[in-house]
Amino acid sequence: MSETTAAPRSRTGTATGEAERNPAGSCAAAPARQGQGSVFLTGQVCSREQRRGRYTPESLAHPGKMLPAIARYLIATYTEVGDWVCDPMAGIATTVVEAMHLGRHGIGVEYEAQWARLAAANIGLATAQGATGTGEVVQGDSRHLPVLIPPDLHGRIALVVTSPPYGASTHGHVRTPGPRRGKVRKIHHKYGGDAANLAYRDHDELADGFTQILTGAAAILRPGGIVAITARPYRRHGELIDIPGMVAAAGINAGLRLHEECAALIAGIRGGRLVPRASFFQQRNVRAAIADGDPQWLLQHEDVVTFQARGGSPVAPQTLR
Ligand SMILES: C[S@@+](CC[C@H](N)C(=O)[O-])C[C@H]1O[C@@H](n2cnc3c(N)ncnc32)[C@H](O)[C@@H]1O
């Protein structure tokens, strides 16, 4: 694997919020419900509504954003007000922004300049809306995470939350040239043009790179700190690619202790029934597979794999809460 520079390419978007109230009028401001067991009710509100007024409209262009409710649930569960949260693959800074609104301090690292700029804008917006925590984003390659995180934060990070990038087949939005006419065009499905972005590595290289990132995470966590990774299996040419399995192996190889595996719902639940929120491409791929005699299902959850750093007190699993 070719190495890229270990030095920070730039550090942007430092922001502080002092006010008590978050004026973002969206439902995203609702506090996370504690103790939901091993299946988190994080899809009650659709993703667009979760972000409305809380993230810049340009942020929609990112192909693989975490649901704000998932970030919020993990932060509320594993940290206290004033703690530090880090996302080494920060994208548009969902984790950092949700941490700030919950009175925690967030620091993110993002490889692509275009997403780092949007992340900085979202951090600025959170501050303007009265978030009580601070936030910042560093642009760089998180395979060298400890070099990118200021030394005074080493050993003080309570929680690392992130999600690895993977196959573009289920990402993006659709556009047609006219109403019900013409070929469907896919937009917003690319992370960036740089081949060093882990999104464009093959599965083994992604696994190696992600192991390096989690090794760095273990080095900056406080004793007993938590790492929470969300991931979904996806299909490439019909073959199931086990991204959650890759994540579990990466954490163990990074020296972290596997804590538990939970599920965060993307679907809502109303009156005891699932409200599916599948993308156009997911639906199309599953329909095509079923038509070919392969009985596939729509995935309506993210796997959440959690690890605990050595030292500190053991954290109770979600299933015991
Ligand atoms: C699945 S997205 C994470 C989205 C983010 N949690 C959010 O909600 O906005 C993965 C991100 O990792 C970034 N990335 C890929 N390789 C990276 C690397 N080596 N170092 C840092 N970020 C990287 C991609 O550009 C992408 O934005």
The 10s digit of each residue's pLDDT in 247-284 is 999 999 999 999 999 999 999 999 999 999 988 888 88
Give percent above pLDDT 70 in the chain: 79
**What is the count of structural domains for the chain?**
1
In a domain? residue 7: no
Question: Is any ligand 1 atom within 6 A of the Cβ of residue 109?
Answer: yes
Domain that includes residue 37, residue range: 22-309
Nearest-angstrom CA–CA distance, 208 and 48: 33
| Ligand 1 atom at shortest distance from the alpha carbon of 191 | 25
In a domain? residue 320: no
The 10s digit of each residue's pLDDT in 55-111 is 999 999 998 899 999 999 999 999 999 999 999 999 999 999 999 999 999 999 999
What does the DSSP assignment read for 231-268? E--EEETTEEE-HHHHHHHHHHHTTPEEEEEEEEESSE
Question: For the chain, where are the alpha helices, taking DSSP H only?
Answer: 47-51, 68-78, 94-101, 113-128, 145-148, 203-220, 243-253, 280-291
Residues contacting residue 117 through CB under 8 Å, at least 6 positions apart = 12
In a domain? residue 27: yes
In a domain? residue 16: no
Say how many Å lie between the CA of residue 310 and the centre of ligand 1: 26
In a domain? residue 281: yes
Sign of CA dihedral 114, 116, 122, 125: negative
Query: pTM of this prediction?
Result: 0.85
Say how many Å lie between the CA of residue 177 and the centre of ligand 1: 31
Residue nearest to atom 12 of ligand 1 (CA): 89
Say how many Å lie between the CA of residue 245 and the centre of ligand 1: 19
Band of residue 297 on the pLDDT scale cut at 50, 70, 90: confident
| Ligand 1 atom at shortest distance from the alpha carbon of 65 | 8
The pLDDT score that the predictor gives to residue 280 is 82
Question: Is any ligand 1 atom within 6 A of the Cβ of residue 139?
Answer: no
Say how many Å lie between the CA of residue 268 and the centre of ligand 1: 26
| Ligand 1 atom at shortest distance from the alpha carbon of 197 | 16
In a domain? residue 2: no
In a domain? residue 314: no
Tell me, what CATH number does 183's domain have? 3.40.50.150
Question: Is any ligand 1 atom within 6 A of the Cβ of residue 163?
Answer: yes
Question: Is any ligand 1 atom within 6 A of the Cβ of residue 259?
Answer: no
Question: Is any ligand 1 atom within 6 A of the Cβ of residue 303?
Answer: no
Say how many Å lie between the CA of residue 90 and the centre of ligand 1: 5
Residue nearest to atom 1 of ligand 1 (CA): 165
Radius of gyration of the chain (CA): 19
In a domain? residue 36: yes
The 10s digit of each residue's pLDDT in 107-146 is 999 999 999 999 999 999 999 999 999 999 999 999 999 9
